Amino acid sequence: METSNHQLAHVIVIPYPSQGHINPLLQFAKRLAAKGVRATLATTANTMQSIHASAAVAVAPISDGFDGTDFAKAGKQGDYLTSIRDHGSKSLAKLLHSYKSAGSPVTCVIYDAFFPWALDVAHRHGAMAAAFFTNSAAVCAIFSHICGGTITLPVNVHHDAPLILPGLPPLNACDVPTFIRNPSSYPAYLAMKLSQFSNLQNADFVFANTFHQLERQEVKSAEKNWPAKLVGPMVPSAYLDGRIEGDKGYGASLWKPLSEQCAAWLNTKPRESVIYVSFGSMVSLTSKQMEEMAWAVKSSASYFLWVVRETEREKLPAGFAESVKGKGLIVSWCNQLEMLAHPAIGCFVTHCGWNSTLEGLALGVPMVALPQWSDQVTDAKFIEEIWGVGVRAKEDEFGVAGREELLYCFKEVMEGESRVKMRSNARKWRELAIEATDEGGTSDTAINEFVMKLKIAVQN
């Protein structure tokens, strides 16, 4: 006999409303739905219209105080966080109440760790609470050590005296998240990072978007203050284990992708002949860095596909797009996973955001790391030195990776002597990512254990 929706374990999943947070949390919701859990993604009015998830995941509104208005009116980051905390708490409470009244109470609220207030709302309404971290285990370990008092801010690091933390490689100044080297640079973001641990001891579950084979030592470093279960990589199933039918994309895009145009262009190029350049949904390069990148891709022996958001396009050198026709394709947005999976792609030039890093690893693509801020610098260190899947572009005294440096990096990954080793390592990490998510893998087992606990809670 079929189980009715009213008897199913029910989770509400609440992401921070940006592309890099919506994607992994929505993917987690799909993983849970595929295992018989009723899943609802609760997101803001300004991002709801961009969610096109499978029928298995419902979408519900949660207020950030700017419903139906231009997100830019939110103002400073600190003001926005206060607004979404105040309005989000009230609207989440109403949502939990409405589901309970409808006879389908929420078993667990899975909240983006940026929203620690969701834990208290969940517990007040009789639901369990699960924190979901969207950074690497290494970065989470660093912040957990700060919150645990092992290290204090600001973290003063010198090349001859790197930061030493248990379970982590020695971190030089260029490897340490920018927020903690210079706490006054982005105080609201730093406060948000640290707030993730403010009431974590009260969470019923803690999850992280990484996998055991990739970061087992880093998890051990932080397990006292951060007892996370690793459930990643949260990449659509079609690119990993293939066990969720039709799961070829995240199901959320704040921009309109041009994937057909990109795929058609890539189909005309030889295997591993194209440099794919993308800096994600939030990074804004300086005009000087854009100029240096433009010169480098134009001078490279390889073809290139460069994602340049419309708001960034004016930073390209005058006449650049016309001058590279045939050699390069410049688009405003595309389905990154489809591009990375294409056999024509030879390397991925990335800002090293955690989602992009995981996608590069999961698809087995070597990388050129060009981190800009925050935890991206730590991810870049691991890409080059720990996982051995790429090279990190060196910046000059003005913080710019020059054209000659970029050209050197392209040659190393596409043509250099270390190319074979990088590709071998990239294939290894892809195989391990598939193994983790496939039936009986470490991430799959962690998800199954969670699902079992949800079902037990419903039965009780």
CA dihedral of residues 392, 335, 71, 133 (deg, nearest 10)? -60
Mark whether 159 is an active-site residue.
no
Tokens linked to 153: 């801010």
Tokens linked to 222: 């932080």
Annotated catalytic residue, options 64, 87, 97, 112: 112
Annotated catalytic residue, options 21, 145, 212, 342: 21
Q: Which amino acid makes up residue 163? A: L
Bridge partners of residue 61, in order along the sequence:
43
How many CB atoms neighbour CB 35 within 10 A? 19
Alpha-carbon distance 371 to 348, whole Å?
13
Could you identify the residue written with the tokens 């090293």?
Answer: 352
| DSSP collapsed to 3 states, the chain | CCCCHHHCCEEEEECCCCHHHHHHHHHHHHHHHCCCCEEEEEECHHHHCCECCCCCEEEEECCCCCCCCCHHHHCCHHHHHHHHHHHHHHHHHHHHHHHHHCCCCCCEEEEECCCCHHHHHHHHCCCEEEEEECCCHHHHHHHHHHHCCCCCCCCCCECCECECCCCCCCECHHHCCHHHHCCCCCHHHHHHHHHCCCCHHHCCEEEECCCHHHHHHHHHHHCCCCCCEECCCCCCHHHCCCCCCCCCCCCECCCCCCHHHHHHHHCCCCCCCEEEEECCCCCCCCHHHHHHHHHHHHHCCCEEEEECCHHHHHHCCCCHHHHCECCEEEECCCCHHHHHHCCCEEEEEECCCHHHHHHHHHHCCCEEECCCCCCHHHHHHHHHHHCCCEEECCCCCCCCCCHHHHHHHHHHHHCCCCHHHHHHHHHHHHHHHHHHHCCCCHHHHHHHHHHHHHHHHHHC
Alpha-carbon distance 426 to 409, whole Å?
16
Alpha-carbon distance 293 to 402, whole Å?
8
Mark whether 112 is an active-site residue.
yes
Cβ-contact 179, 139 below 8 angstroms: no
From residue 437, how far is each of 226, 364, 426, 448 by CA, in Å?
A: 22, 15, 17, 11
Q: Which positions are annotated as active-site residues? A: 21, 112
